Amino acid sequence: MIDTHCHLDQDEFCEDLPAVIERAHAAGVEALICVAVTASSSENILATIATRPGCYAAVGIHPNYTHQAASGDWDRIVALVDRERVVGLGETGLDKHWDYAPFDLQQDYFERHICLSQRTGLPFIVHTRDCEPDVMAMLEEAHKRGPLTGVMHSFTGGPETAARCVELGMYISFAGMATFKKSDELRRTAETVRTDRILIETDSPYLSPHPLRGKRNEPAHLVHTAEVLAEARGTTLADFDRQTTENARRLFARM
């Protein structure tokens, strides 16, 4: 398995990160993509994973932190794209749930990440909360310029949105929410995603899957999401693990 989205630089992991990575590998998670939220966290992640096998980075500025970005922070992101172990950009996207950053500023940074992806070939990682139409509008417009390469992270939309995202070139990633007892609609959406475009993630330390809700999430818990989605899609865990791993390696081709 590959955890395509985790935040191992968060304070929740400061005391036991080596053990967290060891447990992940023991659970069958062969690679972890550690996703940044600011320019500083992008640099910190690269320093943190430099000597840790199977760990990779995505660099970028999260929409909820765009208002904190200093004038030179975007240049710091651009300077990192050729660094060893950088396999993606983000996370980026839009968020209307938390009123942290002006929406036009979020849109500006989302566009920067998409353009950088189109220029470099690195996939971009999309955060969406309470603004799916706005995100889709920007993806549609960007697609007019050229192909898109990226992933809809922790997807919670419906089958029509998922299908359109795939048509635009995107992958669809599911996190622990797909395991919740009341997430029948989300599991039904997961059933419809093209076999070659589905991914899995933990978003740890957030979104712990059932039966671990309320506890700190970590990459080793990815197996719970994989089991639930394999069952929903009518396949074996082994085949689902193999397929999602192939998909992740195709999208994050620098791994």
Q: Residue 117: which of 175, 59, 171 has the closest Cα?
A: 59
Q: How far apart are CA 164 and CA 68, in angstroms?
A: 32
Per-residue buried b or exposed e for 10-19, using 16+ beta carbons within 10 Å of the residue's own CB: bebbeeebee
Instruction: Give the phi and the psi of residue 17 in degrees, each rounded to 5.
Output: -55, -45
Ordered domains of the chain (ranges, CATH): 2-251 (3.20.20.140)
The two three-digit tokens of residue 71, written as one number: 């004038």
The two three-digit tokens of residue 200, written as one number: 């899995």
The pair of structure tokens assigned to 30 is: 């062969």
Spatial neighbors of 255 by CB under 8 A, at least 6 apart, are 2, 31, 33, 56, 87, 248, 249
- One digit per residue, the tens of pLDDT, for the chain of length 255 reads 999 999 999 999 999 999 999 999 999 999 999 999 999 999 999 999 999 999 999 999 999 999 999 999 999 999 999 999 999 999 999 999 998 999 999 999 999 999 999 999 999 999 999 999 999 999 999 999 999 999 999 999 999 999 999 999 999 999 999 999 999 999 999 999 999 999 999 999 999 999 999 999 999 999 999 999 999 999 999 999 999 999 999 999 999
Residue written as token pair 């660094």? 83
Provide the token pair at 45: 């992640």
Tell me the pTM: 0.97
